[in-house]
Structure 1
Amino acid sequence: MRRKKTDFLWIGVFVVLVAFAIPWFLWADATTWLGLPVWLWWHIGWMALASLAFALFARGAWDRGMNVDPDEVGVDG
């Protein structure tokens, strides 16, 4: 059951990442911070968050989803 819970958690994480990847609510905003529009900072931060999420996903869920034994590929865990 734990595996199914984790799978649904990752699905939820990636749905949220995709849903907020484009900041539609900031497009009409002309506010700038450090010389760049706020919507561009949103993209920079969101891509950092997406990279972190993918790194965590690749650490365990990917191998499990692909039926790869972590000992087989030399991953400590």
Structure 2
Amino acid sequence: MTRKRTDFLWVLAFAVLVALAVPWFLWRDATTVAGLPLWLWWHIAWMALASLTFYGFTRGAWDRGVDAEAIYRG
């Protein structure tokens, strides 16, 4: 996969994480699961997904846009 395409996919992944972080579609929903409101379960699951996405980003794309080798060379 080309670097430009990979960069686009990372931007898209983080845009989706930001866009769906607030569960606006669950507003005014009083459904509870295991004693907790559904919107709270959404946030728990969303933070787990965000953590996994960020972990993947750190494993393969952390230095995007930064020439780390030039910094270390001085």
TM-score range, shorter chain: 0.7 to 0.9
Structure 1 counterpart of 2:16, which letter?
V
SS in 2 for 1:62: coil
Partner of 1:39: 39
Structure 2: give runs of 5+ residues left out of the alignment.
Answer: none
Identity %: 69
Other-structure match for 1:75:
none
| More RCO (CA 8 Å, sep 6+) | 2
Could you report, residue by residue, the CA deviation over 1:9-59 in whole angstroms, capped at 9, with x for unpaired residues? 000000000000000110110000001000000000000000000000011
> Number of aligned pairs?
70
Structure 1 residue identity aligned to 2:53: A
Equivalent residue number for residue 3 of structure 1: 3
Q: 2:25 and 2:64 mapped to 1: Cα distance?
A: 37
> What TM-score, normalized to structure 2?
0.86
For structure 1, the 5+ residue unaligned runs are: 73-77
Rounded to whole Å, the distance in 2 between the matches of 1:28 and 1:40 is: 13
The whole-number CA distance in structure 1 between the counterparts of 2:42 and 2:54 is 18
